[in-house]
Amino acid sequence: MIVRFTESSIEPKTIYDLFAEDEPGNVGSVLLHYAVVKVQKEGGRKTTGIAFAAKGDVEAELKGIAREMKQRWTLNEVVLLRRQGEVGVGEIISLVAASSPNSQDVFAACQYGIAALKKMTTIAKEEIYF
């Protein structure tokens, strides 16, 4: 299980390589879901990004989500990453990734993880407008 709340960018190839290190021959499905900052419009203004800040123990909450995923589904590995600081339009905000011997479990687990990340209470989110 890997969880991080980081200011660093999230690089797809680096994440996939984490799963390549898993038990060879035991992984039949790897799923990576990236959430990306999109433009929001409000009152004639558009977002240039989003600022994320910790308002609690983010990594503990991420670990709880990852543990729940591993308890409910047959998974080899779970990776949950959330960005902190200012993240611009088009940049990756978060990653929910998992590997499993089968696709049914990995898809169900990642859907759960995506929903859980959206409901996190330890992260403050603020839209940045221009």
What's phi and psi for 52, nearest 5 deg? Answer: -115, 135
The 10s digit of each residue's pLDDT in 30-80 is: 899 999 999 988 888 999 999 999 999 999 999 999 999 999 999 999 999
Instruction: List, in order, residues 6 or more apart from 126 with CB less than 8 Å away.
Output: 50, 51, 53
Q: Is 39 helix (H, G, I), strand (E, B) or coil?
A: coil
Q: How far apart are CA 79 and CA 95, in angstroms?
A: 7
Burial bucket for residue 64 (CB in 10 Å: 0-12, 13-18, 19+): middle
Using only C-alpha atoms, the chain has a radius of gyration, in whole angstroms, of 15
Task: Let me know how long the chain is.
Answer: 130
Lowest average pLDDT, out of 11-25, 27-41, 60-74, 111-125, goes to: 11-25
The DSSP H or E segment spanning 114 is helix 103-118
In order of their start, the domains of the chain are 2-129 (3.90.1170.40)
Going by pLDDT thresholds of 50, 70 and 90, the confidence category of residue 22 is low
The pTM assigned to this predicted structure is 0.88
Residue 113 reports pLDDT greater than 90: yes
